[in-house]
Structure 1
Amino acid sequence: MAQIELITGIDIGSSYTRIAIGEVNQDNDRVNIIGLSEGESSGVSKGTIRSIEEVVDSIITVKTRAEKMTSLAIDHAIVGISGSHITAQDSKGVIAVSRADGEIREDDVDRVLEAAQAVSVPPNCEIIHVLPRTFSIDNQTDIKDPIGMNGVRLEVEAQIIEGQSAHIKNLTKAISLSGINIDDLVLSSLASAEATLTERQKDLGVVLVNMGAATTSILVFEEGDILLVKVLPIGSAHITNDIAIGLRTNIDISEKIKIQYGSTLSGLSQGADQISFSQIDEQENGDFSRKYLAEIIEARVEEIFHMVDKELKAVGRSGKLPAGAILTGGGAKLSGLTEVAKKVFRLPAAIGFPIGVESAIDKLSNPEYATAVGLVKWGHINRGFQGSSRSSLMKIKGFGSIQAITGQFKSIIRIFKP
């Protein structure tokens, strides 16, 4: 009988907490998603924890649903981290190759990546990831995997991803109080990319736009390397707020209106097409125009996408990514979203769904599960390579469990092709 390995991913957002459970068959090394559960998040605002007790209650509720669905106990997981507190900075590391014969080994890669971390980090922040872009050996540049090559001087260009120490500690504490050990802490947009992007898209050039409730995350790939990581403090909850103000109704009804009737295509809506509030809530009176609703939504979506495009312009990639824009997250379910993305970005655009996994669960095709499923895929790729430099050059490297690193989360990640 084939041995079965389980991997759990937990995505804690401002509006929803989602859990994905993957089963790995070691005979064929395939991941089968056997459990998906979600529930409303409490105690999280704009990606930041405001109440640990409420977050713990939310996690336990979703965890219990997942355990009932799969008849399995969840005691460890890969956990996503996001929020407007996430920042990135470029860095370089340089070392002398240690061996007399000049052959570069794993410990040399370890040392140069450690050297890249010698940057000025604000006292209230911690390094979450070090993302190597390219290595150089002596005068040879653009090297993807230096192990086994020869030289005297090894250099790496990397991007350092940082997060607020307080948020990291609060997140890990909430997970621990929920009865779950953390296997790794992973930037949510990286997990979403793992779930939805192909290697060809990363090579050609692509931007992943993950639209959460309170934040919108941006991740740009080109030639297989990460070019940009950014988290914007705006998301689909701002659309709900606009609807509440524009239609003069409460937030709960506004959210239902957005889900049931929301569209970004105001030009296709008829002004005479009226919707009664009583269709959403029997106690509500009056009606609203579908066209006016679409105008409200379209205006905010265009603003969000223009903010994304501003970041693309900053790295010289506005309108210059052949694989286009891939939209994920709960906000990506809005009707007509890809049309607005194509117009603003001047690029092809599509909704990103989890790929490369098997499942009999229909919900897997929803873009809001991209992060949770991506965390499972992350764990699958990294299993057995904890603490190994070779894993960073194969795909992604994590430095062990939370207990082993005493609160410091430093994953050396490679999104290059091996």
Structure 2
Amino acid sequence: MSSNDIIVSLDIGTSKVRVIIGEVANGAINIIGVGSADSEGIRKGAIVDIDQTVKSIRSAVEHAERMVDIEISEIYVGVQGNHIALQSNHGVVAVSNEDREIGDEDIDRVLQAAKVVALPPEREIINLVPKQFLVDGLEGISDPRGMIGVRLEVEATIVTGAKTAIHNLIRCVEKAGLHISGIILMSLASGMMSLSKDEKAMGTVLVDIGAGSTTLAIFEQGGLVATSTLPVGGEFVTNDISYGLRTQTDQAEKIKLKYGCASVTDSAEDQRFKITRLGSNVEKEFSQVDLANIIEPRMAEIFYLIRQEVRRLGFGAKVQGYVLTGGTVNMPGTLTVAQQELESSVRIAVPDFIGVRDPAFGSGVGMIQYVSKHMTIRNSGAVKKQASRKTGTAAPAKPGMIERIKNMFSEFI
């Protein structure tokens, strides 16, 4: 990788579209630009209006471009949702070099072998994540390059998704005038930013609570072993406030962001606000305690559903803790309610970069870290300049996205 590469991530959420520009200099990541826009064409994490989604993507990209005077031409896109599935597979090849030294070509071939799996016609591979390599039966190898052997194996996790959802996502990004460098499972990216090596090894649930949905990613023995999406999130809290205080939804969202508290015991009676109620021109005053009495039951329900889903997936007794991320966990008192409902150790993960110290940016920052780490392993210039200084020149033509997806395994090892 060159000494100064630009990586751009795109996180299309239910409430916000976020673009993050990261600069990788001598192995260190600096966040140099951030852009966000309201999501108009997304419902519960799924694209329901192509044109509105394209408009939101363009708005977020332009916001990020203005911040650092950079023209974005290529981007890494995050994907998540209940259509995502994981399955394990095994690949085996004979080492082709005469001197029996394992090289990049051998690794490419064994990954291709692991990618050969029977899939229904409506599904396709998004990512292939190696769990470990084996050289002549020796297990636990993370990078076999340069080792001597005659038989190379890989145990990998294949991430698949619904073709319809993936192709709609691709269509939105390309209609916004961007080339897609790669599609990354958000849970993998968030796990890189949010979890320590020990947390991944011991058994941890990474919970991303967004506006329209909640995504669970269970990590065990160092890798992602299960993922699931629940159709609940911060929008439900906003709707409860709207009904409870009898006010408009946009007003309820503003009140939630400014005065919201997830726990009644953590709320303050002297924090007061006035709102105009539906069907009236007269403002009525409420306290933060009143608001917390509306919010806490919904937040408790969300964490109850999270715990039940972990049990349903068969990891109830194996989980050592929970790590929370996503915009909704920013609300004061969230940790208190989570600890009560999950009955486990819980913490909130916050990106440690200036300008993005907010759990809502966890996935976007994680994508930049994921790309940076997994591209430098190959040391072949795989991380290209994702943006170019504004010069007025057109971006060069790129190969089709479908062709790139067919060979994406080579980008993520």
TM range (shorter): 0.7 to 0.9
Which residue of 1 is the match for residue 349 of structure 2? 352
Secondary structure of residue in 1 paired with 2:71: coil
Distance in 1, Cα, partners of 2:94 & 2:286: 69
Alpha-carbon deviations, 1:103-157, whole Å to 9, x = none?
A: 6554454444334434443322221112333445676555544556677765544
Does the CA-based 8 Å contact 1:47-1:214 persist in structure 2?
yes
CA distance in structure 2 between the partners assigned to 1:80 and 1:65 by the alignment:
19
Moved more, 192-201 or 404-413: 404-413
Query: Residue 18 of structure 2 contacts residue 34 of structure 2 at CA under 8 Å; is this kept in 1?
Result: yes
What secondary structure does 2:243 align onto?
A: helix
Partner of 2:392: none
Within 5 Å, give how 1:224-239 maps onto structure 2: 224-239=222-237
- For the structure 1 residues 343 and 175, does the alpha-carbon distance in structure 2 shift closer, same or farther, using more than 3 Å as the test? same
Which segment drifts farther, 171-180 or 329-338?
171-180
Indicate the percent of aligned positions where both proteins have the same amino acid.
35
Q: Which residue of 2 aligns with 1:81?
A: 79
Compute the displacement of 1:17 (Å): 0.8
Given the alignment of the two structures, is residue 130 of structure 1 paired with residue 128 of structure 2, yes or no? Answer: yes
In structure 2, C-alpha distance between the alignment counterparts of 1:3 and 1:160, rounded to whole Å: 31
Q: Does the CA contact (< 8 Å) of 2:95 and 2:149 recur in 1? A: no
User: Are the counterparts in 2 of residues 185 and 409 from structure 1 also a CA contact under 8 Å?
Assistant: no
List per-residue Cα deviations over 1:83-114 (Å, max 9, x = no partner): 333x2132222435355887655445444433
Q: Which residue of 2 aligns with 1:376?
A: 368
Q: 2: CA distance between counterparts of 1:244 and 1:279? A: 9
Contact 1:137 1:152 in 2 (8 A): yes
Question: Any conservation in 2 of the 1:46–1:84 contact (CA below 8 Å)?
Answer: no
1:90 corresponds to 2:87: yes
| In 2, Cα distance between equivalents of 1:320 and 1:4 | 42
**Alpha-carbon distance in structure 2 between the residues aligned to 1:379 and 1:59:** 21
Which letter does structure 2 place at the counterpart of 1:380? S
**Cα 1:129–1:74 shift into 2, 3 Å:** same
Residue aligned with 2:405, SS: coil
- 1:56 maps to what in 2? 54
Comparing 50-59 with 96-105, greater Cα deviation is found at 96-105
Answer yes or no: is 1:366 the counterpart of 2:358: yes
Distance 1:150 1:306 in 2: 51
Change (3 A) 1:106 1:72: closer
In the TM superposition, what is the alpha-carbon distance from 1:365 to its structure 2 partner?
0.8
Paired residues of 2:74 and 2:179 also in contact (CA < 8 A): yes
Alignment of 1:278-357 (within 5 A): 278=276, 283=281, 285-288=283-286, 290-314=288-312, 316-318=314-316, 320-322=318-320, 324-355=321-352, 357=353
User: Unaligned stretches of 5+ in structure 1?
Assistant: 392-400
What secondary structure sits across from 1:42 in the alignment?
coil
Corresponding pairs, count: 396
C-alpha separation in 2, matches of 1:181 and 1:39: 19
Between 366-375 and 107-116, the greater mean CA deviation after superposition: 107-116
Choose the corresponding residue for 1:113, options 111, 114, 117: 111
- Closer, same or farther: CA 104–11 of 1 in aligned 2, 3 Å: same
Counterpart amino acid of residue 92 in structure 2: I
Preserved CA contact (<8 Å) 2:277 2:284: no
1:236 & 1:163 partners in 2: Cα distance?
Answer: 25
Are the counterparts in 1 of residues 375 and 411 from structure 2 also a CA contact under 8 Å?
A: no
| Contact 1:319–1:345 (CA under 8 A) maintained in structure 2 | no
**In 1: Cα distance, 2:316 partner to 2:411 partner:** 24
The answer to whether the Cα contact below 8 Å between 2:189 and 2:366 also exists between their aligned partners in 1 is yes
Cα contact 1:128–1:410 (8 A) shared by 2: no
SS of 2:309's partner is helix
Q: Give the alignment partner of residue 187 of structure 2, picking from 189, 196, 201.
A: 189
| Structure 2, unpaired ranges of 5+ | 384-397
Match of 1:6? 6
Quick check: 1:11–1:79 contact (8 Å CA) kept in 2? yes
